[in-house]
Amino acid sequence: MALRRIDVNAEWHPSGGPKGLFLFGDAVERMEALLGEYEGRIKLIYMDPPFMTGDRFFMRVRVGEEQWRRGKGSFVQQSFSDRLDRNGYLALMRRVLELSRRLLSDEGMIFVHLDYRAHPHVRLLMDEIFGEDNLLNEIVWVYQSGGRSLYHFSRKHDVILFYRKTERYDFNIDAVKAPRTQPRTSHMRRHVDPDGRVYRSIRSGGRVYTYYDDDPVAPTDVWQDLPHLQQRDPERTGYDAQKPLALLDRIVRCASREGDWVLDPFAGSGTTLEAARRNGRRFIGIDACPLTLNIARRRLAGADYGILLDGAAATEGAPVCKAGVRSGVGFYHLMLENFEIDIPNLPEGAQSMDCVDNWSAGYLRPEGYRVMAEFARNKREGALRRELAIPAYAGELALCVADVTGRSFYFALEP
Ligand SMILES: C[S@@+](CC[C@H](N)C(=O)[O-])C[C@H]1O[C@@H](n2cnc3c(N)ncnc32)[C@H](O)[C@@H]1O
Q: What is the pLDDT of residues 267-326, one digit of tens each?
A: 999 999 999 999 999 999 999 999 999 999 999 999 999 999 976 667 788 899 999 999
Q: How far apart are CA 17 and CA 28, in angstroms?
A: 28
**pTM for the structure as a whole:** 0.95
Question: What is the whole-number distance in angstroms between the Cα of residue 112 and the centre of ligand 1?
Answer: 12
Torsion-angle region of 246 (φ positive above 0: left; ψ -120 to 50: alpha; else: beta): alpha
Question: What is the whole-number distance in angstroms between the Cα of residue 59 and the centre of ligand 1?
Answer: 12
Specify the CATH architecture of the domain 18-177+221-301: 3-Layer(aba) Sandwich (3.40)
| Residue ranges covered by each domain of the chain | 18-177+221-301, 179-212, 320-414
Q: Give residue-wise pLDDT tens across range 346-369.
A: 998 898 899 999 999 999 999 999
Question: What is the whole-number distance in angstroms between the Cα of residue 268 and the centre of ligand 1?
Answer: 5
Please choose from 266, 293, 300 the residue to mutate so as to test ligand 1's pocket, defined by most ligand atoms within 8 A of CB: 266
Q: How far apart are CA 62 and CA 76, in angstroms?
A: 9
The protein residue whose alpha carbon is closest to atom 5 in ligand 1 is 268
Give 349's contacts (C-beta < 8 A, 6+ positions apart). none
Nearest of 372, 380, 379 to residue 397 by alpha carbon: 372
The protein residue whose alpha carbon is closest to atom 13 in ligand 1 is 266
Q: How far apart are CA 228 and CA 243, in angstroms?
A: 7
The protein residue whose alpha carbon is closest to atom 6 in ligand 1 is 48
Confidence of residue 388 (pLDDT cuts 50, 70, 90): very high
User: What pLDDT does residue 164 have?
Assistant: 98
Position in ligand 1 atom list of the atom nearest CA 266:
12
Confidence of residue 93 (pLDDT cuts 50, 70, 90): very high
**Other Cβ atoms closer than 10 A to 193:** 10
Residues with CB under 6 A from ligand 1: 26-27, 48-50, 79-80, 239, 241-243, 266, 268-269, 271, 286-289, 292
The protein residue whose alpha carbon is closest to atom 12 in ligand 1 is 266
Please choose from 56, 59, 80 the residue to mutate so as to test ligand 1's pocket, defined by most ligand atoms within 8 A of CB: 80
pLDDT higher than 70, residue 234: yes
Position in ligand 1 atom list of the atom nearest CA 80:
25
Question: What is the whole-number distance in angstroms between the Cα of residue 266 and the centre of ligand 1?
Answer: 4
Position in ligand 1 atom list of the atom nearest CA 79:
25
Nearest of 51, 156, 166, 171 to residue 112 by alpha carbon: 51
Q: How far apart are CA 51 and CA 55, in angstroms?
A: 9
Confidence of residue 111 (pLDDT cuts 50, 70, 90): very high
Question: What is the whole-number distance in angstroms between the Cα of residue 201 and the centre of ligand 1?
Answer: 48
Give 350's contacts (C-beta < 8 A, 6+ positions apart). 63, 64
Position in ligand 1 atom list of the atom nearest CA 292:
27
The protein residue whose alpha carbon is closest to atom 2 in ligand 1 is 268
Q: Which CATH number fits domain 320-414: 1.10.8, 1.10.3470, 2.60.40, 3.30.1490?
A: 2.60.40
